[in-house]
Structure 1
């Protein structure tokens, strides 16, 4: 089967994505260092057994990701200088969306999430889902694991602001409804990609643990970790037509701290953080987590 011939499931394998993926791996692994020039488009086309159009599109993808920089008309691009991962953190709405979009360029996308609900994750994921729907991105598989607070646990937060009302069940009832709503929307949006035959394999597992989260974590493709804190704030919410003053954990505008493997990370320190975070997530997943019932 040639790179652009129909795949067994009826989709088309993308020479652009194959070239982009190989070059991306060389850059992130350090085989290609900042400032190194890539081979010419003609040389890359020969290496990958494809045409220059696919190569040019692949280079455009890597420029969009900030991995390449142009070196003048007709000249091959060079590997871009990568900003250090310990630069100033960005807000979750910006950072998570950008990093998810980059992660979706991989052939096999894996994402682990620990958060209060999936509300922010759903919003940040939308550009990547749209790009897949428009055939701009074409991963072969997507695997998402999500850990959320147990909807049956007596969580510390959210709760009523007034101490004398702290046993009022309504804040947790509201959280349970939001949890099911956003988790159901997440599962539907991703599984629809497989139903529409845009991604051959999609798996979304959502489980719960009896913990009140004070932080959120995203692990992307096993090569980077995003970490942010929830702040406890009082505010007014509405539940079933009634207003309530509650103490809640808010993370929509949280700053995300990023650790990355490869040349844009801090070497062993970032690699160790990512590995320890993965082990921590797996320890919860395989011990005290239980499937979330959405019905």
Structure 2
């Protein structure tokens, strides 16, 4: 067995002792020499195991002293709907000097509505970012999208034309909102990039200032909408009412997995943005 595999085994045993309460917060693990003797491994293996636990936020390592068990992080808050959580988190993101928001969704309609709260804070002077940069990624309308679709006739293109109208409206309103903040002297620098990808989003993702991710899954539902020719039943997705799950890689990160999810989500977004995503214009 490799030293890495052995260190992970040791870390797993020590982790269980900590999470079970066998070693209380503020208490200390045995000295490294004692741990090496207990597990019958070298000091380097113990050092690797303790480093793993430190990376997870479970212990604090001291030079020449036993590892101290940390207080457990607060429990993760319950997920909230996009219409509730996103405005709150975007407003918090606007407390930064340089604001970046990356969005992947079906239309960007929820993003547009959520920004209204932060914009109000900027106009009142409560929020004073020096720059705001939005990157918005939506599906390419000329792709054979799975949703939205007419229930009785999936080949009918009217739901997609309705989607195109919503997307164009969102594009225009996002651009007008940002430009208004800039032209009125509230924010010195603003930028908006709008790109499309040839796939049907089945989740929405928001990345705030590179340190926070909000992700939610679209639930497919039947809905009655007004199309050219009258009312029609379509399969659509829940947007503003979908639950968002938050992760952070900042100071309030719960653990290494929480932070890693943000990093992975950002890499996923960037991989699409820099490869198959294409700039689009309103109209």
Alignment TM-score > 0.5, same fold: yes
Unaligned runs of 5+ in 1: 1-80
Mapped contact 2:212–2:250 kept (Cα < 8 A): no
2:147 is matched with which residue: 135, 141, 157? 157
Number of the residue aligned with 2:134:
144
2:209 is matched with which residue: 221, 229, 232? 221
Secondary structure in 2 aligned to 1:193?
helix
Over 3 Å counting, the alpha-carbon distance change for 1:171 and 1:85 in structure 2 is farther
1:175 matched to 2:189? The reply is no
Secondary structure in 2 aligned to 1:293?
coil
Number of the residue aligned with 2:125:
135
Number of the residue aligned with 1:245:
233
1:190 matched to 2:175? The reply is no
Mapped contact 1:144–1:204 kept (Cα < 8 A): yes
C-alpha RMSD of matched pairs (Å): 1.7
1:184-211: CA deviation from partner (whole Å, max 9, x where unpaired): 1111101211111110000010110011
Aligned length: 213
In 2, Cα distance between equivalents of 1:282 and 1:263? 23
Q: Displacement of 1:241 after TM fit?
A: 5.5
Secondary structure in 1 aligned to 2:195?
strand
Mapped contact 2:98–2:131 kept (Cα < 8 A): yes
Number of the residue aligned with 2:252:
264
In 1, Cα distance between equivalents of 2:74 and 2:93? 18
TM-score (norm 2): 0.72
2:97 is matched with which residue: 93, 104, 107? 107
Q: Displacement of 1:82 after TM fit?
A: 11
In 2, Cα distance between equivalents of 1:188 and 1:85? 39
Secondary structure in 1 aligned to 2:196?
strand
Secondary structure in 2 aligned to 1:206?
strand
1:88 matched to 2:78? The reply is yes
Secondary structure in 2 aligned to 1:243?
strand
In 2, Cα distance between equivalents of 1:188 and 1:84? 40
Mapped contact 1:157–1:248 kept (Cα < 8 A): yes
Q: Displacement of 1:115 after TM fit?
A: 0.4
Mapped contact 1:149–1:209 kept (Cα < 8 A): yes
Unaligned runs of 5+ in 2: 1-70
In 1, Cα distance between equivalents of 2:246 and 2:113? 19
Mapped contact 1:113–1:218 kept (Cα < 8 A): yes
Mapped contact 2:248–2:259 kept (Cα < 8 A): yes
